[in-house]
Amino acid sequence: MRFKSQLFALVLSVVVPASFAAMLAIWYVYQEEQATQETGLKEAARTFSLLVDNELQSRQRILRTLANAPSLARGDLREFYEFAKKNAPTPDTTIILIEKSGRQLLNTRVPWGSGLPTQRAASINELMQRDGGVDPLVSDVFMAPIGKRYDFIIQVPVMEGSEVQYFVVMGVNVTAIQTLLAQQKLPSTWLGAIVDRKGTVLARSRDPDTFVGRSSDETLQKLFASTRSGVTRSITLDGVPVKTFYHRIAASDWTVVLSIPETDIRRSALEGAAIFGLIAALLLVVSMLVARRIGGGVISRMQRLELAADALGRGEQVHYSPQGLVEVDAVGMRIAQVSQQLLSSQRELELRVAQAVAEAERAQRALLQGQKMEALGRLTGGIAHEFNNLLQTLTTSLQLAKRATNSERVQALLDTCTKALKRAKTLTGQLSSFGRTQDARLETVSLHKHIHEFRQLVDNVLPASITLDVQIPDDAWPVTIDPTQFELAFLNLAINAKDAMPSGGSIRVMVTNEPHISPADGLPVGDYVRMGFLDSGIGMTADVMAKALDPFFTTKKVGEGTGLGLPQAFGFARQSGGTLLLHSREGQGTQVDIYLPKASGATTHPHTNVAGAPDVTSTAGGTLLFVEDDALVRESVAPALEGGGFFVIMAESADAALACLEAGTKIDFVFSDVVMPGTLNGIDLAKTILHRFPHVKVILATGYSENRVSMPGVQVLAKPYDVADVLKVLSRSAER
């Protein structure tokens, strides 16, 4: 039986008078809502005019700053040109300096010294005749003669006493005002516009490319010129009937126009009336509820429906059983459906919150990891620098000692010391993976060729129970890396994978080109080469993976691991301009992805070092200025250089070396360390020599530096170096 049938007669007696009263109230609300909306739209037009006024005032302040420039006061127009270009608010903003006569002296839109227009914007001349030209002025929109675009200008006079000396003018493209208008995010059916004194459109929220530069309706032009603000009915340039709210901008006499279709205004008022009508309808529902109280059986069914609604409010699953009333049952079933939807939405929200929290935790871990590696890089880089100086002293001294004796026993002992130094050199190279990349060790290589060349070394490390599958396409992009650090990182990953598979398994290495990506936060979008390293081992727990990249963290027994394998690989990836991403689950293996930026140049051949004693016959001789702050290195290397046929002058710093050159000392070669105390380092010294003493050949040596060395004609050697290599480089430099 229907609920409507039981209460029809009672509800009818209530609805008729209530409906009549509601209609009267709705009409009153409709009228009030329209009046309120018009007041709000007038205020919106006034507020936006203030925004435009503030924008123009801020540009006038920039011009006043330029007008007070010391270079302009001195008459140094070239310096003022650079100062104005640098302080323009946007790259497409033009700064113009104009004489009192109207002749342009400079224009930042064209290079210094280029020909300049001879005429000014017509409207600015009219304004100057009206106001005398002693106050800041804003012109109307015009077509710029150089940029061929719609601009307007802001002019500020440069005064000397009470006389105008110059006019500093800012040419502004109308897109600056267009951008300000776009930021207001007006509804799509509304139209916002800004017109100048002559009624020309200089910004429009809809179709600006079509209507900017066109004149508005003559009736509106007269209205805008005669009143400061108001409301009128009009038709837009694209033929839409609107109610127009306008307000004049104080700084420019421009007018802000806000046009809203009358249908929108009526709709808003109707919505307000509808809300009131809804309230009236709710009152009618209350009347109906009172009527329902008459039937005791009906009220019990409503109580059951209320219980279902309460369960929905508590977030519980609602199970509704039909009560025999069509209307009530429809609501009850809908409540049951909504409860299911709410529970589903709640579960989805909880999942998204958990994912967001996990992502935030990953970002925090990445930040902490980067800070740890930065601190470790500075520490190990400094240690490597000092240790390389000691190794350089020992290496050169051993070479000189081998030349000074013929005893086989002494030679054997010296060879043993040389081998120990080579191991120490390898150790400092490993330390360098946590510091900065050294230019002397960088090479652009093909991973396809390079990995296959040292794969045999990796195969020797892995037991027969582990298979290594390397997949590298022939067209894999080249990368610029330190080959030694790359090989060490590859070997560390292979050893870690081996230790994770005590019963055997497989390792897959896949190299792919990844164009136009950003592998991780903080890395720019670009072309990268990805080396994926996937094993079938035991994987990592979440706690272990969170610490896996921490230096010296290891799960191995004491003496079986240093905890530097993954951190070294991570340090190598970061210093190469890329990153390392780690993915692992317990029992499902581990995947390590190393992303390296694509190299822009061609591949290079590895540098080879010549072992043994210096070849004194391989050089051309001459005067060599040896610049080194470490006394032990100077004392050991200088005799070796003299043995190579050079007259050696030593300097303890780059400042002392530059003073020697400036004193007129005839110098043929400069062999300098990079990192030194004083106001200049080796790179600064090399740049100065190339500029002021181009006949002097420069060779640099570095054990560690945070500065990149990239100068044509300057050879860079890595410490510790063999003196034989130095002599050969000097010989080649002398031949050029």
pLDDT digits (tens, 9 = 90+) for 136-158: 888 888 887 777 888 888 889 98
Q: What is the structure's pLDDT at 670?
A: 93
User: Which residues are CB-neighbours of 317 under 8 A, at least 6 positions away?
Assistant: 311, 339, 340, 343
C-alpha distances in Å from residue 679, one per residue of 217, 606, 655, 682: 69, 34, 7, 10
Phi, psi of 132, rounded to the nearest 5 degrees: 90, -10
Residue 292, classified by CB atoms within 10 Å of its CB into exposed (0-12), middle (13-18) or buried (19+), is middle
Q: What is the structure's pLDDT at 339?
A: 79
β-strand 163-173 against 255-261: which pairing, if any?
unpaired
d(CA 43, CA 193): 16
**What CATH number labels 34-278?**
3.30.450.20
Q: What is the structure's pLDDT at 533?
A: 92
> Is residue 48 a contact partner of residue 254, using CB atoms and an 8 Å limit?
no
pLDDT-flagged residues of the chain (< 50): 435-437, 440, 558-559, 607-619
β-strand 715-718 against 697-702: which pairing, if any?
parallel
Residue 686, classified by CB atoms within 10 Å of its CB into exposed (0-12), middle (13-18) or buried (19+), is buried
Name residue 193's beta-bridge partners: 204, 257
Q: What is the structure's pLDDT at 597?
A: 94
Nearest to 645, CA basis, from 672, 618, 669, 666:
618
How many other C-beta atoms lie within 10 A of the C-beta of residue 575?
Answer: 20
d(CA 530, CA 580): 10
* Residue 199, amino acid: G
* DSSP secondary structure letter of residue 523: S
Q: What is the structure's pLDDT at 41?
A: 82
C-alpha distances in Å from residue 125, one per residue of 93, 109, 146: 21, 21, 19
* DSSP secondary structure letter of residue 686: H
Domain boundaries, the chain: 34-278, 319-434, 447-597, 616-735
**Helix (H) or strand (E) run with residue 195 in it:** strand 191-195
Class of 616-735 in CATH? alpha beta
d(CA 237, CA 264): 18
Name residue 651's beta-bridge partners: 627
Q: What is the structure's pLDDT at 607?
A: 46
Residue 508, classified by CB atoms within 10 Å of its CB into exposed (0-12), middle (13-18) or buried (19+), is middle
First to last CA, the chain: 109
Name residue 125's beta-bridge partners: none
Q: Where are the alpha helices (DSSP H) in 314-407?
A: 326-404
User: Which residues are CB-neighbours of 294 under 8 A, at least 6 positions away?
Assistant: 7, 10
At residue 422's C-alpha, the angle toward residues 704 and 446, to 5°, is: 70
Q: Which one of 3.30.565.10, 1.10.3720.10, 3.30.465.10, 3.40.190.10 gives the CATH number of domain 447-597? A: 3.30.565.10
Q: What is the structure's pLDDT at 593?
A: 94
Phi, psi of 592, rounded to the nearest 5 degrees: -115, 125
